[in-house]
Structure 1
Amino acid sequence: MIGIVVVSHSHALATAAVGLAAEMVAEDNRPVIAVAAGLDEKTFGTDAMAVSEAIAAADSPDGVLVLLDLGSAVLSAELALEFVDPEVAGRVKLSSAPLVEGLVAAVVTASTGASLDAVVAEANRGLVAKQDHLGDSVETAAEAGPTDQVIEVVVGNEHGLHARPAARVVALVNSFDAVVTLTDLDTGRGPVDAGSLSMVATLNAQRGHRLEVGAGGPQAAEALAAINQLAAENFGDAPVSEPVVAASGSGLDVAIGPAVVVDAEVDLTGYTPGDAAAEHRRLENALGKASAELIHLRGTSPDHSGIFDAHLALVKDRTPLEAVSSAIQGGSPAIDAWKQTYDQLAATFEGLDDAYQRERAQDVRSVRDRVLRALTGALSNDTPPAGGILVVAELDAATAATIDASKTAGIAVRAAGTTGHGVIVARSRGIPLITGIGDVDVPNGATVAFDARTGSFEVEPDEDSVRTTITQRQAEREEALNQAAQPAITRDGQLIEVLVNVGSVQDAIDARGADGSGLVRTEVLFQDHAPTVDEQVERFRAIAAALQGKPITIRTWDIGGDKPLPFLPQDHEANPFLGERGIRVFRRRPELLRDQLQAIRHVATETPVHVMFPMVTTADEVAWALQELGPRPEGLQVGIMVEVPAAALRIDTITEGLDFVSIGTNDLTQYTTAADRTNTSVAALADGLDPAVLRLIDHVVRNAGVRVAVCGDLASDPQSAVLLAALGVHELSAVGPQVPLVKARLRQADLSEVDTAEVLAARDAAQVRGLL
C-alpha cells in the first residue's frame, strides 16, 4: 500500500484534514499518512527537512504521494527530495490535487491497494464532485472499460450516497478484479467509474434513486453480488427510526425534585481566548473529548447507538469544521466560531421542508452545546442526578429514549405540544412529564414540582403538599394496577374496551390489564429489512401470545411524512405530510402490502385479529384495500384509520364493508389545525382537545354506522378518555403505562353526567380542560 505525506503551512489544518480523511476507511486498512506542517504547532510555514523526514516515515515499496497546500510548500517538497535517498525519491510523486478533497480521495483509493498512479489520478479528480455540483466542472465522467453484466439497486439511505457510503462502494469495487460503473436512472447521470470516489460523488444519488450497476472483467459477477448485498444493507448506513423502549418510569403525572436545567445556554463569559494556533488546539481537544463522550454513550446504550452515531457525524462534519477553522484563522475565539457556525446549521435544518430533517436541528444544538461545554470545562448533562427534573426547551426523541427513566423524577418542557416524538416516547416509558411551561425562570438546582393533570409548574413549591399529592397518585396507580385485569365498566353501566398500543413484542409483554392491542405498529416492528411472510407471522403470533390470545389490531404499513421505512425508499416530497403516506404509497407499489396481508390472514386463522389501513381519504381507497385483502378468514375484522378531516366528514360514505374505524387523533389534530406536531413554533395549536377536533370525533361516532375506536395519544389521557367514551367511542387504545389508569378513571365515571354539548361548544382547548 502506498504512503501519503501532507505538506501544509498550518499544523492545525493538516491535522484536521488527516482526521477527516481517516474517517473514511477502517483503521486496520488505512495507509500510512505522515504530516509535515508548520514550523511548529503555532507558527505557519514549511520546512524541507521536516518534509524529507515525513517522506521517509511514509515510504513504501509501492510509492509515496505528497499532497501540498500553497506555493512554497511545493518548493519545500522539491527541496526535500534532494535530502532523501535517490531510490526513495524515485518512487515519490508530488500532486497538485486540492489538499482536503484530494487527501480524502487518495486515502480511500489507497486503502484498496491501488497503484500510486491510480491514487494520484483519483486525488487529482478531487474537485470534480464540487465542480459538477456548482456547474463549472471540467471532467464529468471517468473512463471505464466495457461492462457486460448489469443489475439495478435502490439507494435506501435516508440521506443518499453521501461521503461514507460512497467510500464503502469504492472500497468494495476496488477489492475485485472487475470494472464497475454506476448510472443514476432517475437523473440520467453516468455511467461513472464506481472505483473512483470523486466519480461516485458526482452522481449525487439521493434516497429512492435507482442505480444501474454494470460490471465487466474476471470477477464481474462477484462484484455485482457484493454491491447488491451492500445496497440491501443501506450501504452500511444504519436505518433511522424512532426508538422503541420499555417503560421503566413511575408512570405518574406529578413530580418534584431539583431542577437540572439543560436548556440554558452554556456560560461562555469566563472563556479567555488565545491566538489562532491556541484556539485550534483547544477546539481539537474539545472535539476529541466530545467524541469520547459520545462513543461512551453509544457503548452504554446499544439500542440507541444510531442516535449517537449521528451526533458523532455532526462533531466530525467537514463542512462546518472548515467554516469554524476559517473563522478561528480570521481571529474569532473557538467558542464564538463554533457557536455561530452550529447556530447557522441548526437554523438551516429548521428551514427545511421535511419534518424529519427539521427535527435534526435538535441534534445540531445538542452537539453544539456538548462541544461548548468541552471548550469551557462545564459539566456534561448526560448523567443528571438521581431524582432530578430535567428542564428542556424542547424534548427530542434521543433524550427521551436514552435518559434513565428509573432515576429521573420527571421532565419539564418549555415548548407546548403533546404529540411530538420525544413526548410520546417519554410517556410510553412512564416518565412523568409536563409540556408548555414557557419561559419561567428556573435556577439550576432549585426545587421544582409539576402536576400535569392540572397543568401547574412551580419553583420552590410547598413540598409537603406536593409530596402528599404524589403519595395519593402512587396509591391511585397501585390500586389501578391491582385492578387492571378488571373490565372498565362506568358507573352508568357502559363497558369500554381499553387496549394497548404496541410497537414491539416487549410492549405487549409489559402491558398490564389491556383488553388486547388496538394498534400494532408494523412499521416499527420491522425496521432493518423487508420481512418475509413467515417472519411477520412469527412476530404477530408472539404479540398475540403475550396478550393471552386477546384481539390484536394490526395496522398495515404506515409510512411517509415523519415515518420513513428504510427498505421502502420514497421520492423526496416538498411537503411529505400532505404527500404519499399510508395506503397511498401501496396503491402504486402493492407487493410489500400483499405479503403483510397474507401474514395477517394466516394469523387470523389461529387467534382473533383485526386489520386496519392507515391514511384513508376516499371510498375508492377503501374498496381497493378490501380487494387487496381478498377472502377473509372467519373472524377477521377490517377497519380503517380516520386521520384525515375529509374522511371524518364523509364517514358515512366510506364504511361500506368495514367492521370498525379507529380515529388517529395525532394526525387528525395536526391536519385539522394545520399545525405540524414536530414544529415547536406551532405545536401548541396541535391540541387534541381543540373543539374542532372533538366535533369531528363526534361526527364520526354519530355517522359511522360501525364500531368506533380511538388509538391516538388522546386515548392515553384518563380525563380525555372519559370524554371520548361520553361521545360514544367504544374502544380506547393507550400507551402501556396508562392502560390501568385509564381503566380506573372510566370505572369512576358516570358518562351521563358529562355535558358533551357544552364541551363541543367550547371556545378552545383550554376551556375544554376547564370543563373536564
Structure 2
Amino acid sequence: MIGIVVVSHSHALANAAIGLAAEMVAADNRPVIAVAAGLDATTFGTDAMAVSEAITTADSPDGVLVLLDLGSAVLSAELALEFVDPDVASHVRLTSAPLVEGLVAAVVTASTGASLAAVAAEAERGLLGKQDHLGGGGGVEAAAVAATDQTVEVVVGNEHGLHARPAARLVGLVNSFDAVVTLTDLDTGRGPIDAGSLSMVATLNAQQGHRLRVGASGRQAAEVLAAIGELAAENFGDEPTAAGQTGSRAAGSLASGSGLDVAIGPAVIAGAGVDLNDYVAGGDEAARLDGAVATVAEELGRLRDASPEHGGIFEAHLALLKDRKPLDEIRAAIAAGTPAPVGWKQTYDDLAKTFEGLDDAYQRERAQDVRAVRDRVLRALTGATVDEAADGGILVVPELDAATAATLAAAKVAGIAVRAAGTTGHGVIVARSRGIPLITGIGDVAVPAGATVAFDARAGSFEVAPDEDAVRRTITERQTERERAIEEADQPATTVDGRTIAVLVNVGSVQDAVEARGADGSGLVRTEVLFGDRRTAPSVDEQAEQFRAIARALQEKPITIRTWDIGGDKPLPFLPQDQEANPFLGERGLRVFRRRPQLLRDQLEAVRRVAAETPVHVMFPMVTTADEVAWALDELGPRPDGLEVGIMVEVPAAALRIDTLAAGLDFVSIGTNDLTQYTTAADRTNTAVAPLADGLDPAVLQLIDHVVRRAGVRVAICGDLASDPQAAVLLAALGVDELSAVGPQVPLVKERLRHADLGQIDTAAVLAARDATQVRGLL
C-alpha cells in the first residue's frame, strides 16, 4: 500500500483533513499518512526538512503520494526531494490534487491496494463531484465526463460478497460496453475503483448486504448501468441452490472418485513452485508474455467449457488472467527491463497478498486462485510441466488449484494431501465435488517422493509408512458406511436398544439448510454468522425472512435460533465493542446486551413472528447466572404457543449450577467448543496448547454427565463433538437427547447411532478415564 504525505501551511488544517479522510476507511486498512504542516502547532509556514522527514516516515515500496495546499508548500516539497535518499525520491510523486477532496480520494483508493499512479489519478479527479453538481472549473475533458456521468445503487446479495466468480461476471459485463464504470462501496467508503478490473473489484471486499454506487460515463453509460442492475438482482449470477434442489455436495454424489475421507498410496510430490533460475530473457519479452497469456487463456477456456458445474471458477481465472490493471503494471515493468516471468510473478504475488489482507476468510482464500493463474502463466513462459499422480497415487501439494483438481483422473488418483489449511479454496471445492479423497492442513511434514502415505481426514491424521492393512480395512468400512448412510439419511436415528436420538444440523446460512441431508431440524442457527457480513443491523423483517427461509429449507422441521453470540473471536461489524484485555472472559453472548438490549429485542421480535408460523426454539448464549436467565426471559416477553426456550451451557459455572439455571426452561444445549476451552483453559486456535482442548477430556465429559443428570429438561449438544460419529454414540449413552452436527456429518452420525447399543457403553469407565486418549481407547 502506498504512503501519503500532507504538506500544508496550517498544522490544524492538515490534521483536520486527515481526520476527515480517515473516516472513510477502516482503521486497519488505512495507508500511512505523515504530516509536514506549519512551523509549529500554531505558526503558519512550511519547512523542507520537515517534509523530507514525513516522506521518509510514509515511505513504502509501492510509492509515496504528496498532497500540498499552496504556494511555498510546493517549493518546500520539491526541495525536500533533494534531502531524501535518491531511491526513496524515485518513487515519490507530488500531485496537484485539491488537498481535502484529493486526500479523501487518495486514502480511499490507496486502501484498495491501488498503485501510486492510480491513487494519484483518483486524487486529481477529486473535484469532479462538485463540478458535476455545481458546474464549472473542470476543463473540457472533465466537463464532458461530468455531463455524461450517471449512477445507480445496487445491493450485494451474495453470501460471500463479490468474490472472484461474481466479480468476474461483473467485470466481463462492464468490458462488453463502451463505457467507463466505477464502483464505490457505500458501507465501507472504499472506492471509487475501476469496475473493469477484476483485481480491483474483487479486492474492493464488498460483502453481503453492502450498498454499491455504480457510476458510468461514455456512449453506453445508461445501457451498462441497466445491465448491472439486472445482474445484481440475480446476485451477480451467484444464486444459491433453491430449496428442494440438490447440488453435488447435498446429494452426496460419488462423482468419479470414491467420495471417502481416507486414502492410501505412493506420494507424488507436485506444485513446489516454478523455477525461474534457468530462464533466459529474449529480445521481445512483451511478445513472450502475450503468447503465454494466450496459451493459458485457451487452456482455461477448454476447462470452463468441459466443466459446466465449475465453469464459473475458470471464468474467474480467465478474468484474473486478462485483468488490465496487473497487465499494465507488468508491461511497464517489462518496458523498464524486467524479464516477463519476474514481472508476472512479482505483480501476482502482490495481488495475492492483497487478497490475503481482506476481512472475510472466504475472500482471503481467493489468493489461491491468484497464485493458480500466476503459476499457469509461469509454466507457459518457462516450459515447466506439472507432475501428475500415477494410478493409485496421493498427490501432495502446497495448495490445490481448481484446474489441477478438475483435470486429475478422479477414478485413478487415490487422494490429495494439501499442506495449506482451509476448506473453501476453489481447488478443494472442485476435488470434493468430484469425489476425490482429500485432506488439508498437513503442514510441513517431510514426504519422500514414492513413499507410501495414508490419511484419515475424519481423524485429522496423515502418516508416512502407515500400517497398510489397517488403512485398507478402514477404507472398506468407510465405503460401506458412507453408502448406507446416504441411502438411509432420512430414517430416524434409533439405536439397537430402542432410543431415538434427534440428529439436527448447525446452520450459518440458508444454503447450509438447503444442503442438509437427513436432518431432523436445526439445533443451532448461528445468527451472528447469518448476518455477520452486514455493516448495518438487519431489521426485524429481514431477520424473520431469513429464519423462514431456513425453516422452509428444512421442510418446517423445528429450528433452534441462537440469539446474537458475539464477543471474543466473533465480532459483529454493526455492534462495535470496547477493546478488552481478555475478550474470551469479557462481554460475550448474552452479557453484551444487558447494557445494549435493543438489538436483542429486535431479534426476539423476529423470533416470535416466525414461531407463530412454524416450530421454533430460541436459546441464549454464554449464560452464567440465574439472574441472566431471568433477564433474558423478561426481554423475550409473552411467547406464542410452541415457542420453546433454552440456554447454552458453555462455562463450567453454568454446568455445575444447571438445576438452578434450567428451572422454567424447555431445554438446554451444551456448546462443547467453549465448554472444553474454559474447562481446560486452552485456546483451540493456539497451536501451543490446542492438544489440551479435547472435547473427550474426562473433565468435560463429567460436566456433560452432570448437566444430563441434573437439568430436568431436554439436553442437546451443538458443539463440534456432536459431529464426531464415535463421540455421538458416547454422548447418547450419557443421556443426551439431541445432537446438532455440521451438515455433511448428519447422515454418518445417524448411521453410527442406528448400529449402536447404548447399554453396552461403559460410561462409568469413560468418566473415570485418565485422559482423552484413554477415552478413545475405551470407545
Note whether the superposition's TM-score is higher than 0.5. Answer: yes
CA distance in 2, matches of 1:446, 1:426: 23
Q: 2:281 & 2:240 partners in 1: Cα distance?
A: 40
Deviation at 1:246, TM superposition (A): 3.4
Rounded Cα–Cα distance in structure 1 between residues aligned with 2:759 and 2:485: 14
Corresponding residue number in structure 1 for 2:48: none
Return the letter of the residue paired with 1:730.
D
**1:254-284: CA deviations, max 9, x gaps?**
323454545x313426853323633x33333
Name the residue aligned to 1:100: none
Show the counterpart of 2:34.
Answer: none
- Matched with 2:746 is 736
Aligned to 1:246: 251
Contact (CA 8 Å) 1:616, 1:622: kept in 2 or not?
Answer: no
Question: Given that residues 521 and 554 in structure 2 are in contact (C-alpha distance below 8 angstroms), is that contact kept between their aligned partners in structure 1?
Answer: no
Matching residue's letter, 2:555:
A
Structure 2 unaligned regions, length at least 5: 1-114, 136-149, 217-221, 242-246
**How many angstroms apart in 2 are the aligned matches of 1:454 and 1:665?**
18
Q: What does residue 281 of structure 1 align with?
A: 287
**Take 2:171 and 2:530, find their aligned partners in 1: how far apart are those partners?**
28
> Aligned letter for 2:370?
V
SS of the counterpart of 2:127? Answer: coil
5 Å matches for 1:340-379?
Answer: 340-347=346-353, 349-350=355-356, 354-379=360-385
Match for residue 265 of structure 1?
272
Residues 301-349 of structure 1 show CA distances to partners (whole Å, capped at 9, x for unaligned) of: 5555665555445434555445544544454443343334444444455
**Partner SS state of residue 555, structure 2:** helix
Partner of 2:726: 719
Structure 1 residue 742: Cα displacement:
2.6
1:450 to 2:455 alignment: yes
Aligned match of 1:752: 762
Tell me the SS of whatever aligns to 1:732.
strand
Paired letter, 2:753:
K
CA distance in 1, matches of 2:382, 2:239: 34
Structure 1 stretch displaced more, 706-715 or 531-540: 531-540
2:129 partner SS? coil
Rate the CA distance shift 1:704–1:291 in 2: closer, same or farther, 3 A: farther
Closer, same or farther in 2 for the Cα pair 1:450/1:223, shift >3 Å? closer
- Cα deviation code 1:62-91 (max 9, x no counterpart): xxxxxxxxxxxxxxxxxxxxxxxxxxxxxx
Relative to structure 1, is the Cα distance of residues 716 and 403 closer, same or farther in structure 2, using a 3 angstrom cutoff? farther
Identify the residue that residue 613 of structure 2 maps to in structure 1.
602
CA contact (8 A) 1:448 1:458 kept: yes
Structure 2 Cα separation of the partners of residues 656 and 172 of structure 1: 65
Deviation per residue, 1:563-615 (Å, 9 max, x gap): 999xx9958999999899999899539768855653443133xxxx5455678
Does structure 2 retain, via aligned residues, the 8 Å contact 1:238–1:306?
A: no
- CA displacement 1:76-135 (0-9 Å, x = unmatched): xxxxxxxxxxxxxxxxxxxxxxxxxxxxxxxxxxxxxxxxxxxxxxxxxx99972387x7
Cα 1:341–1:506 change in 2 (3 A) is closer
What displacement does 1:715 show? 1.9
Aligned-residue offset at 1:427: 8.4
Q: How does 1:319-398 map to 2 (within 5 A)?
A: 320-347=326-353, 349-350=355-356, 354-379=360-385, 389-393=394-398
Q: Does structure 1 retain, via aligned residues, the 8 Å contact 2:485–2:747?
A: no
In the TM superposition, what is the alpha-carbon distance from 1:747 to its structure 2 partner? 2.9
Match in the other structure for 2:713: 706
Corresponding residue of 2:495? 489
Residues 736 and 483 (structure 1), Cα distance of their counterparts in 2 relative to 1, 3 Å cut: closer
Check 1:726–1:153 CA distance in 2 against 1; reply closer, same or farther (3 A cut).
Answer: same
3-state SS in 1 of match to 2:365: helix
Partner residue of 1:141? 129
Shift of 1:414: 3.8
Secondary structure of 1:287 counterpart? helix
**Cα displacement (A) at 1:732:** 1.8
Structure 1 431/685 Cα, relative in aligned 2: closer, same or farther at 3 Å? farther
Contact map agreement 1:346 1:362 (CA 8 A) in 2: yes
Cα distance 1:662–1:393, how it changes in 2: closer, same or farther (>3 A)?
farther
Q: Contact conserved, 1:151 with 1:214, CA < 8 A, in 2?
A: yes
**1-structure distance, mates of 2:675, 2:738:** 17
In 1, distance between residues paired with 2:390 and 2:699? 42
Paired amino acid for 2:454: A
Q: Distance in 2 between matches of 1:346 and 1:425?
A: 20
Contact 1:536–1:599 under 8 Å retained in 2? yes
For residue 474 of structure 1, report the CA deviation from its aligned partner.
3.9
Partner of 2:264: 256
Tell me how far apart the structure 2 counterparts of residues 663 and 401 of structure 1 sit (CA, whole Å).
40
Q: Tell me the equivalent position of 1:8.
A: none
In structure 2, the CA distance between the partners of 1:245 and 1:515, relative to structure 1 (3 Å rule), is: closer
* Residues 298 and 308 in structure 1, CA contact (< 8 A), matched pair in contact too: yes
Distance 2:238 2:691 in 1: 33
Q: Displacement of 1:731 after TM fit?
A: 1.9
Hey, what does 1:62 align to over in structure 2? none
Secondary structure of the 1:449 match is: strand
Aligned-pair Cα RMSD in Å: 6.7
In 1, Cα distance between equivalents of 2:542 and 2:234? 15
Q: What is the identity percentage for the equivalent residue pairs of Structure 1 and Structure 2?
A: 52
Native 8 Å contact 1:718 1:745 kept in 2: no
2:354, 2:196 → 1: CA distance? 31
CA shift in 2, pair 1:651/1:188, >3 Å: same
Structure 2 counterpart of 1:56: none
Alignment partners' CA distance in 1, 2:418 and 2:434: 16
Distance, in Å, in 2 between the alignment partners of 1:722 and 1:409 is: 30
SS for the counterpart of 1:248 is coil
Q: Which amino acid aligns with 1:274?
A: A
Matches within 5 A, 1:658-677: 658-665=665-672
Structure 1 residue 536: Cα displacement: 6.6
How far, CA to CA, are the matches of 1:684 and 1:757 in structure 2?
A: 19
| AA of the residue aligned to 1:256 | I
Q: Deviations over 1:396-435 (max 9, x none)?
A: 9999999998776444344679999999998899865555
8 Å Cα contact 1:259-1:445 kept in structure 2: yes
